[in-house]
A and B are shown apart, each in its own frame.
Chain A
Amino acid sequence: MFATAIIVFREVLEAALIIGIIAAATHDIPGSRRWLLAGLLAGLLGAGIVAAFTDVIGSFASGIGQELFNAIVLGIAVLMLAWHNIWMSSHGAELAASARATGGDIRDGRSECSALLLIVGLAVLREGSETVLFLYGIAASDSGRSSMLSGGLVGMTLGIAVGYAIYAGLLRVPLRWFFTATSVLVLLLAAGMASQAARFLIQADLLPSLASPLWDTSMSLPENGVAGMLLHSLVGYDSRPAGMQLVFYIVALLAIGAGMKWVRHPRQSNHSSKGAV
């Protein structure tokens, strides 16, 4: 039962952290709750479908279909997180002011909400499909079914609890630090996902590893420990990364960071004229 709980916890944790951070970051956007829920349901449905077609997906492109699929899902998620962060850095202040005063009528709010839906949906899809396969395997076997299923339930509850904790914790961050805190977290999530995408492409032999491993911290900070697990989900920690993963990580950080800076600067010069109108 304990082993089952750990496995399910690991899978749920990553999705739960992403959802917790995104839910907090979009807290002030009108209607974001509905989009988040829609993303969650679509993700669960998608997870079931992906699980059912594991074999079909896996046999694409001479056996590297699963890696391609994961890398594409991660790639889209990185783009959506980047879009979210860049959008937030241009609308964030405006949003906090207007949403609290008038209920808010934000231009582009709808496209931000579809990004939100995709981010949540893809996170659930990716982590959920493995959980579905795992739990299905347990349900199909005869031995110790009930104790393992209850283990699964414990793991899932714990994962969701951690996700909720980060959500509740972020909402307690004072407003002047709030956007910085959430955008740094989203930035690191995106970079971590870019690194994971690189790992799948290396596994499929579509990218060179450059150096494998670049470092080995599996003794001091193992990935199957609690700290390693959390760091893996939050900032993309890898105890034995390939060099290419670090390249992807840094490029994602720099590109998204530059995008955020770029949209913030023209706005500052516009701000006074807009305020006058």
Chain B
Amino acid sequence: MKKICFVALLLPQLVFAVDADYTMTIKDHCFQPAELTVPAGKKIKLLIENQDATAEEFDSFSLNREKVIAGHGSATLYIGPLNAGRYPFMGEFNAATAQGVIVAQ
């Protein structure tokens, strides 16, 4: 019974799977857009689509986030609420090119 309740709780989330506040794309080991402006003091949901064939890891010490995105896959993560400022992030697996920054204002 408990299990059924749990599944029922998850269902609405599954239905509205893609309702992210912001979307970012990884292509040729670069983030697009490389600079994303978000409101300060508000939690945001970010969708990252990886159009490359190989996996990438979204990694940011300043945002305290890390998440692997499979090749030709996508991932969502929650960020913030952030104080106003610049928060650099990178694709750890291709750090030479995959660099970006989230600007909270």
Cross-chain contact B70 with A64 (CB below 8 angstroms): no
Contact with A along B77-96 (1 / 0, CB 8 A): 11011000000000011111
Give the chain B neighbours of A130 by CB distance below 8 A. Answer: 57, 68
Residue of A55, A61, A133, A224 near B93 (CB, 8 A) is A133
Most A Cβ at <10 Å: residue of B17, B43, B93, B96? B93
B76 in contact with A137 (CB, 8 Å): no
Interface of A is mostly: helix
Are the C-beta atoms of B68 and A54 separated by less than 8 Å? yes
A241 to B65, CA, bound (A): 10
Encode A46-71 as 1/0 by CB contact (under 8 A) with B. 00000100110011011110110000
Q: Is A203 a contact of B95 with CB atoms below 8 Å? A: no
Nearest first, the 4 closest Cβ-Cβ pairs linking A and B are A137-B54, A55-B70, A63-B76, A54-B70
Tell me whether A204 and B54 are in contact (CB under 8 A): no
* Total A-B contacts with CB atoms under 8 angstroms apart: 89
**Are A64's CB and B61's CB within 8 A?**
no
CA distance A239 to B62 in the complex (A): 8
Bound: A55/B74 CA distance, A: 8
Interface residues on B, range: 35 or more
Whether A222 contacts B78 by the Cβ 8 Å rule is no
B1 within 8 A of A: no
Nearest Cβ in chain B — how far from A54, in angstroms? 4
Note all chain A residues with C-beta closer than 8 A to B53.
140
Contact (Cβ within 8 A) A218 B13: no
Q: Mark out the residues of chain A between 189 and 224 whose CB falls within 8 Å of any chain B CB in the assembled complex.
A: 199, 202-205, 212-213, 218, 222-224
Is the beta-carbon distance between B55 and A212 smaller than 8 angstroms? no
Chain A 157-188 against B: per-residue CB contact (8 Å), 1 yes, 0 no?
Answer: 00000000000000000000000000000000
Whether the pair A222, B61 counts as a contact (CB closer than 8 A) is yes
Identify B61's interface contact among A54, A55, A61, A223, CB under 8 A. A223
Q: B14 within 8 Å of A by Cβ? A: yes
CB closest chain-A residue, reference B53: A140
Is there an interface contact between A62 and B17, defined as CB atoms closer than 8 Å? yes
Residues of A within 8 A of B80 (CB): 212
- Least CB distance from A275 to B in Å reads 47
Cβ contact within 8 Å between A133 and B61: no
Which residues of B (21-64) have their CB < 8 Å from a CB of A? Answer: 43, 45, 47, 53-57, 61-62, 64
Of A58, A141, A204, which is within 8 A of B78 by CB?
A204
A241 and B61 CA atoms in complex are apart in Å by: 10
Closest A residue to B75 using CB positions? A58
Task: Tell me, rounded to whole Å, the shortest Cβ–Cβ distance linking B45 to chain A.
Answer: 8
Task: State whether A212 touches B64 (Cβ < 8 A).
Answer: yes
B55, B67, B75: the one contacting A136 at CB < 8 Å is: B55
